[in-house]
């Protein structure tokens, strides 16, 4: 008898094989399934082949066959790498917490993210794989990590890596941020505390700076005042009659602030003589007398 036909069933699709007279084998060129086989039972697509002879006798084999089974396990690998998105801290952020929670997501639409490949690195430190919280989300994960050691004030860069189950490595994602736990310095040169003046305007001046997150913004009585590149500031304000409270606040880009308060009194009323008494008057030549003045202000 002779072989009438050979066919293969792969992922629900039937393919008829054609005899290659040169090799004596039945062959077909098949387009692989569009999705990875990782999520299939056993991580492969089952291939079923059936041969039929002229008499109608058939033989069928698939991946469960004890002899040919391994040859009928089709492994399909995806070529699209996972995508990493860092959600906190954001790029360029300045934060006051020196143990910030770093948060990110890794997504993959096919074989899925391999959680064992998720890692994070802080600056030039060692790659960290333990202590990362991983919550499954579809075929990916939402992740977070909190440093066990406080980060120093200044700039830091975090790098996140991950791969999918088919071995495709995501493009490493990085973000750079600043830690600033120290408020800015603020020195007020003028006016001095408790100053009493008859001038209706006064100059408020001094210097301010922040080692980590310059430039510093400045307000005097809630009004913004320009700070020079060297940290110096100077502005003129108008006083009200009586005691004035001048509040100077320096704020860095992390939101930390330093406040200095000055109290200045404006007194424009001249003294008023109420009475003058000379006793005795007249006075004998060469003798003493007392002059008594009553004055108010």
Q: What is the CATH number of the domain that holds 49?
A: 2.60.40
Is 282 inside a domain boundary? Answer: no
Is 196 inside a domain boundary? Answer: yes
Percentage of the chain modeled with pLDDT above 90 = 89
Q: Which residues pair with 250 in a beta bridge?
A: 218, 258
- pLDDT band at 269, cuts 50/70/90? confident
Q: How do residues 200-238 score in pLDDT, each as one tens digit?
A: 999 999 999 988 877 899 999 999 999 999 999 999 999
pLDDT of amino acid 260: 98
Q: Are residues 116 and 174 in the same domain?
A: yes
Concatenated DSSP letters of the chain: --EEEEEEEETTEEEEEEEETTTTEEE---PPPSS-STTSGGGSEEEEEEEEETTS-EEEE-TT-TTTGGGGEE-----PPPEEEEEESPTT-EES-SSPPEEEEEE-SSS-B-GGG-EEEETTS--B-SS-EEEEETTEEEEEE--SSPPPSEEEEEEEE-BBTT-PBPPPEEEEEEE--SPPEEEEEESPTT-EES-SEEEEEEEEE-SSSPPPEEEETTEEE---TTSEEEEEEEPPBEEEEEEEEEE-TTS-EEEEEEEEEE--PPPEEEEEEEESSS--TT---EEEEEEE-
Higher pLDDT, 253 or 172: 172
User: Does the pLDDT at position 155 exceed 90?
Assistant: yes
> Looking at the 3D structure of the chain, how many domains does it have?
3
User: Does the pLDDT at position 250 exceed 80?
Assistant: yes
Q: Are residues 63 and 108 in the same domain?
A: no
Q: Are residues 95 and 175 in the same domain?
A: yes
Whole-number Å distance between alpha carbons of 208 and 288: 59
pLDDT, averaged across the chain:
95
Q: What is the mean pLDDT of residues 77-87?
A: 97
- pLDDT band at 37, cuts 50/70/90? very high
pLDDT of amino acid 215: 82
Q: Which residues pair with 266 in a beta bridge?
A: 197, 242
Tokens at 49, concatenated: 């082949």
Q: Are residues 52 and 99 in the same domain?
A: no
The residue range of the domain holding 247 is 185-266
Is 108 inside a domain boundary? Answer: yes
Where residue 162 sits, what CATH number does that domain have?
A: 2.60.40.10
Q: Are residues 39 and 97 in the same domain?
A: no
Whole-number Å distance between alpha carbons of 33 and 9: 12
User: Does the pLDDT at position 162 exceed 70?
Assistant: yes
User: Any idea which of 83-87, 155-159, 274-278 has the lowest mean pLDDT?
Assistant: 274-278
| 129-to-90, 134, 146, 149, 162 alpha-carbon distances in Å | 21, 11, 12, 16, 10
Is 295 inside a domain boundary? Answer: no
Q: Are residues 51 and 115 in the same domain?
A: no
Q: What is the mean pLDDT of residues 165-184?
A: 96
The torsion region of residue 156 among left (phi > 0), alpha (psi -120 to 50) and beta comes to beta
Write b or e for each residue in 5-29: b if 16 or more Cβ atoms lie within 10 A of its Cβ, otherwise e. Answer: ebbbebbeeebebeeeeeeeebeee
pLDDT of amino acid 1: 65
pLDDT of amino acid 48: 97
């Amino acid at each position: 008898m002779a072989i009438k036909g050979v066919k293969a069933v792969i992922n629900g699709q039937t393919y008829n094989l054609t005899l290659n007279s040169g090799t004596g084998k039945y062959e077909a060129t098949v387009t692989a399934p569009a999705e990875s086989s990782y999520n299939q039972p056993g991580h492969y697509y089952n291939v079923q082949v059936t041969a039929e002879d002229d008499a109608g006798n058939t033989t069928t084999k698939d991946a469960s066959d004890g002899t040919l089974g391994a040859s009928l396990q089709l492994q399909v690998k995806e070529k699209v790498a996972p995508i990493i998105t860092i959600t906190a801290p954001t790029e360029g952020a300045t934060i006051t917490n020196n143990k910030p929670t770093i948060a990110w997501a890794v997504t993959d639409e096919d074989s899925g993210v391999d959680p064992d490949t998720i890692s994070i690195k802080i600056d030039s430190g060692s790659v960290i794989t333990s202590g990362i919280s991983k919550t499954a989300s579809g075929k990916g994960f939402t992740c977070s990590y909190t440093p066990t050691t406080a980060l120093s004030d200044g700039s830091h860069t975090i790098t996140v890596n991950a791969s999918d189950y088919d071995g495709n490595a995501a493009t490493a994602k990085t973000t750079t941020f600043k830690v600033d736990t120290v408020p800015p310095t603020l020195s007020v040169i003028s006016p001095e505390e408790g100053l009493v003046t008859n001038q209706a305007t006064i100059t408020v001046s001094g210097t301010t700076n922040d080692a980590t997150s310059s430039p510093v913004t400045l307000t005097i009585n809630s009004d913004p005042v320009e700070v020079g590149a060297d940290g110096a500031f100077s502005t003129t304000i108008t006083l009200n009659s009586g005691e004035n409270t001048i509040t100077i606040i320096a704020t860095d880009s992390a939101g930390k602030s330093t406040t200095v308060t000055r109290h200045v009194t404006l007194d424009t009323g001249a003294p008023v003589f109420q009475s003058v008494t000379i006793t005795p008057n007249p006075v004998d030549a060469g003798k003493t007398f007392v002059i008594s003045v009553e004055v108010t202000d």
